[in-house]
Amino acid sequence: MTLRQLQYFVAVVDAGLNITLAAERVHATQPGISKQLKQLEGAFGFDLFLRRGKSVEALTEPGRQLLPRARQIVETAQALRAQARVLAGETGRQLRIGASPSAARHLLPPALANLERGIRDLEVTLLVTDTSDAIEQLRRGILDLAVGSTTVDRPPATRAVPLSRWRRVALLPSAHPLARSDANALALADLARYPLVTYSSAQQSESSFQRTFAERGLQPRIALAAADGELIRAYVRGGLGIGIVAPSVVDELDDPELRVMPIEAGLPACVTWLLLPPDGELSPEAQALVAALGLQPEQIEAASWGQT
């Protein structure tokens, strides 16, 4: 038995036994609610509803007797969350988001603008951080949602939904020897001959960046590493090295001093993820942001865990 299952039980009753309407109200899917209710009935050892086919027609007698207690538990949990926010010094409607610098700058602004127009008195706190820190802060309840990128199938130790997939590109001073070449894409062997400026995660020996070079017998020379792609771009312009960045950093780039070039298909693709709390519980504000990002409830329900 889980709090979410009790919430769905109460929501179906409050929706007049209409599971479709209940799903809309709690930002879930009809199959998802039906599955959770079956699991709750399995935990209790009896049916809560009288059914005809896929339709719910009435509460059973045990269901009627349990409903007041289930409602009390759900309302107590809601009150507990509200009290915790007050004790934490929070007022009004709150949304706490963690994001990488790139996501904070390029992905979230339009979604948050839509959210602000739809929810009055919403106070958004945006913490710019790396993916590993965001996962830890989600686990501790400091964040409601986070956005981060990895090159693995799933971020470790959290539930996640993919938002986009992308490949790193090279950013070079226009006067650089490689920038003047006729190559369609830069080879890793060429990149290894020059100082590189890239993301901090690339410094880790277990990173896909280091592994890919090592598999080819190459040793990348990282002259500077930073979390912020815009900062990397500034140092490339300053002549510190070749930048290895996300495409969003160079979108609509109009700078005659810089040239963007593809990298050969050796470096693994990166995935930008929406990272969810471990318990799967989303506040109404978090649910609204999920919708503003273009995600459907069934995608959230289907979010799976990465390996710890």
Q: What are the boundaries of each domain within the chain?
A: 3-87, 93-152+282-305, 168-268
What CA–CA distance (Å, rounded) separates 283 from 93? 10
Cβ atoms 10, 49 nearer than 8 A: no
The topology under which CATH files domain 93-152+282-305 is D-Maltodextrin-Binding Protein; domain 2 (3.40.190)
Which pTM was predicted?
A: 0.67
130-188 pLDDT, tens digit each: 888 888 888 888 889 999 998 866 777 678 999 999 999 999 999 999 998 888 899 99
Fold matches, 3-87 and 168-268: no
Element holding 173 (H helix, E strand): strand 169-173
What is the rounded average pLDDT for all residues in the chain?
A: 86
Whether 259 shows a pLDDT value over 50: the answer reads yes
The b-or-e profile of 3-28 (16+ CB within 10 A means b, else e) is ebbbbbbbbbbebebebeebbeebbb
**Whether residue 224 has pLDDT greater than 80:** yes
Most confident of 40-49, 94-103, 297-306: 40-49
Residue 307 is predicted with a pLDDT of 47
Q: In this structure, what token pair is assigned to residue 142?
A: 């400091």
pLDDT at residue 96 greater than cutoff 70: yes
CATH of region 168-268: 3.40.190.10
Residue showing tokens 């958004």: 124
Q: What pLDDT, on the 0 to 100 scale, is given for residue 44?
A: 94
Give mean pLDDT, residues 282-304: 84
pLDDT at residue 308 tops 50: no
Confidence of residue 86 (pLDDT cuts 50, 70, 90): low
pLDDT tier for residue 197 given thresholds of 50, 70 and 90: very high
Q: What is the spatial distance between Cα 100 and Cα 110, in angstroms, rounded to a whole number?
A: 16
For residues 74 and 52, give the distance between their C-alpha atoms in angstroms, rounded to a whole number. 27
Please tell me the total number of residues recorded for the chain in this structure: 308
First to last CA, the chain: 25
CA atoms of 115 and 108, how far apart (whole Å): 10
pLDDT in tens, 58-75: 999 999 999 999 988 987
Q: Between 1.10.10.10, 1.20.120.530, 2.40.50.360, 1.20.140.10, what CATH number should domain 3-87 receive?
A: 1.10.10.10
